[in-house]
Structure 1
Amino acid sequence: MGVSTSSPEKGISLVLVDFPPVNALPVTGWFALADAVRAAGRDPATRCVVLAARGRGFNAGVDIKEIQARGGEALVGANRGCFEAFAAVYECEVPVVAAVRGFCLGGGVGLVGNADVIVASEDAVFGLPELDRGALGAATHLARLVPQHLLRALYYTARTVSAAELHAHGSVWRVTPPDELESAALELAREIAAKDGELLRLAKAALNGIDPVDVRRSYRFEQGFTYEASVGGVADRVRDTFGSGAGERGSGE
């Protein structure tokens, strides 16, 4: 349980997230994930990072129960932890391949939206349930996956979009059967890791440098509205009404 790092092949670092039952990460989990991705990217032997998860789905966002139990302290911690984890993926010194299975909600969208490439299983679904969970955020990252008008429809309705739909939009590289996801992600990582390591790092820096959106500033702007909803009482009112299932613990953020 937690965040672990391994090297399944030369040049590849696998960062694995495992927070049962639904990978709704506590505050410490987001910071641990950020540290693991940054450390993998700093390792001169690493040329590609694969970000994956065990359990029922890739990520269900922040742990709402922790926020409900600890109040403002946990909310601020979750905001900061998500910010650091998303930034770590985006700023990782080498390309990051996200291997997504099952649900990818809220903070999960923040992670994969900042990844370099996404490989997803046929059962993968992506969405921001923020408006159903008393939060706002990660629209910055969903905007990297779908066109603007679809982004707004998904955000306002809290609906999800399938891996196949994202593949049609060009934001998912490949869709695989669930049992082939990890091998497909490693196959792509292997192809990337075969390139010159120094040149790969320059390429990552160059691509980030020409990005039309400053993802750090954009997401930080969104987080201000999450905090406003919290101190204004709107967040608690909405959180007290949400139902069971994967959302029982996970939120957006």
Structure 2
Amino acid sequence: MPITSELRPDGVRVVTMDAPPVNALTVQGWYDVAAALDDASADLETHVVVLRAEGRGFNAGVDIKEMQNTTGFDALIGANKGCFAAFKAVYECAVPVVAAVNGFCLGGGVGLVGNADCVVASEDAYFGVPEVKQGALGAATHMARLVPQHMMRTLYFTARTIPAKDLVQFGSVLEVVPRDQLDDAAMAVATDIAKHDTRVIRAAKECLNGIDPIDVNKSYRFEQGFTMELNLAGVSDELRDQFAGTEKSKK
């Protein structure tokens, strides 16, 4: 299965994304991420979640090929709702979520990581929101939690990426480690959290969300409205076709 969840004896629940070749998730994949996080919230034996990935990169966003191979707007609407559910589940997870980011973290991946509580990354990790290339808008809400506003706007408008090591200075990435040490680094933070009384940590998570200056759910939903407009205008479909064609030519 692309999404797996395993609870360790110390209360650390490890949720892993494994959807080759690039962890671009299908509509169902996004809902599966949401379900894994919701299950973690409901399980009082879960003290903290580590969200990680297998393969070349953490997450490449939505599965564009699924969208282009589906007639009508069902896949688009599904992806919008699935991403919203997954990002919301990370943010509202009753316990802290530690994101362990390897390789690329793009689009929807930024949505997941931006809503996490702690981020550790490998030396080859980088972040980006290339939505404008595919005629979509989204994840600016979450990128704005990783970098300052003007940096976010530059990354958004240019579709550039930024290496994880550059985010340490902003405090959004806790540390950058060699790739073979990433899981250990994430587990070190997670076990530090897990050793505390989960009743207190769960209260703390709810408390910190309550004083957050930005309503991430409403902010992201606002972004999605513009994506729908671009799709209705035919712009997004044209750009996604170009993207899918480029990908096919590489194979």
Unaligned stretches of 5+ residues in structure 1 = 249-253
Q: Structure 2 CA distance, aligned partners of 1:48 and 1:8?
A: 10
CA deviation string 1:16-47 (max 9, x = no partner): 11111000000000001100011012210111
- For residues 53-92 of structure 1, what are the structure 2 equivalents within 5 Å? 53-70=53-70, 71-92=72-93
Q: Paired residue for 2:43?
A: 43
CA deviation string 1:72-94 (max 9, x = no partner): 10000000000000000000000
TM-score if structure 2 supplies the norm length? 0.96
How many Å apart are 1:237 and its aligned residue?
1.8
What SS does the aligned partner of 1:240 have?
helix
Q: Structure 2 CA distance, aligned partners of 1:17 and 1:244?
A: 25
Q: Paired residue for 1:25?
A: 25
User: 1:214 and 2:215 equivalent?
Assistant: yes
Q: Structure 1 CA distance, aligned partners of 2:111 and 2:37?
A: 14
- Structure of greater relative contact order (alpha carbons < 8 Å, 6+ residues apart): 1
The AA in structure 1 aligned to 2:110 is V
What SS does the aligned partner of 2:242 have?
coil
Aligned-residue CA RMSD in angstroms? 1.3
Q: How many pairs were matched up?
A: 247
Q: Paired residue for 1:168?
A: 169
What SS does the aligned partner of 2:69 have?
helix
Quick check: 2:68–2:241 contact (8 Å CA) kept in 1? no
Q: Structure 2 CA distance, aligned partners of 1:110 and 1:128?
A: 9
Quick check: 1:41–1:49 contact (8 Å CA) kept in 2? no
Q: Structure 2 CA distance, aligned partners of 1:93 and 1:32?
A: 17
How many Å apart are 1:245 and its aligned residue?
5.8
Q: Structure 1 CA distance, aligned partners of 2:35 and 2:178?
A: 30
Q: Structure 1 CA distance, aligned partners of 2:173 and 2:41?
A: 22
Displacement over 2 Å in runs of 4+: 240-246
- For residues 124-163 of structure 1, what are the structure 2 equivalents within 5 Å? 124-163=125-164
TM-score if structure 1 supplies the norm length? 0.95
State, as a whole percentage, how many aligned pairs show the same letter.
Answer: 60
How many Å apart are 1:241 and its aligned residue?
2.3
